[in-house]
A and B are shown apart, each in its own frame.
Chain A
């Protein structure tokens, strides 16, 4: 009796962990996808529009898609922030070869928009994990 209950608990915990993992990866790859997987369609749409708007504005202003520069330690944090964008970051960096234009008038503003989009998506990943684990509605 107790063995069955323990097995059920392990199975349930394993299922929860797998679901959390899947939702977190989806949320990281596409902004709002984690919430969509969890059935929060309206919130997912809102997050997709907001995060992608920040990214598109940043790109339109020729902002920097940060990468680590050895002589500038803070670029590590900025790169990690930008990588929060997940799929769009990977596409822009490795497929489109985007890097921004330092001479553009909107370079600093654009960089701020892009990093902010990455940080917002990181918060979405954490939000999805909280929802799956029952810490949030």
Chain B
């Protein structure tokens, strides 16, 4: 399991939760899900890219 995979699963669950909580119609749910999911994953990648020049240390390997 990679860090990216876990982040994607996390984004998936959070997006699914809020789209069911906040929207009733199927179309609105799909739209909100995509907005949240892409925002979370894209935001994560953007934050990682911004932090890339400033490494904190060696990455922790996942088994």
Point out residues on A near B: beta carbons under 8 Å: 43, 46-47, 50-51, 53-54, 57, 61, 105-106, 109, 112-113, 116, 120, 123-124, 127, 137
Contacts and interface: CB of A to CB of B under 8 A. Distances in A.
Contact of B13 (A43, A53, A109, A123): A53
Contact of B21 (A106, A112, A127): A127
A56 to B, nearest CB: 11
Contacts of B10: 109, 112-113, 116
Contacts, number: 38
A73 B37 CA distance: 32
Contact of B9 (A51, A57, A120): A57
Q: Is the interface of B mostly helix, strand, loop or mixed?
A: helix
A46 B20 contact: yes
A43 B60 contact: no
B16 interface: yes
B63 interface: yes
Contact of A47 (B20, B24, B62, B63): B20
10 contacts: A46-B16, A47-B17, A47-B20, A47-B21, A51-B17, A57-B13, A105-B62, A106-B6, A116-B14, A120-B14
A130 B63 CA distance: 44
B14 A106 contact: no
B1 interface: yes
B6 A50 contact: no
B17 A120 contact: yes
A112 B3 CA distance: 13
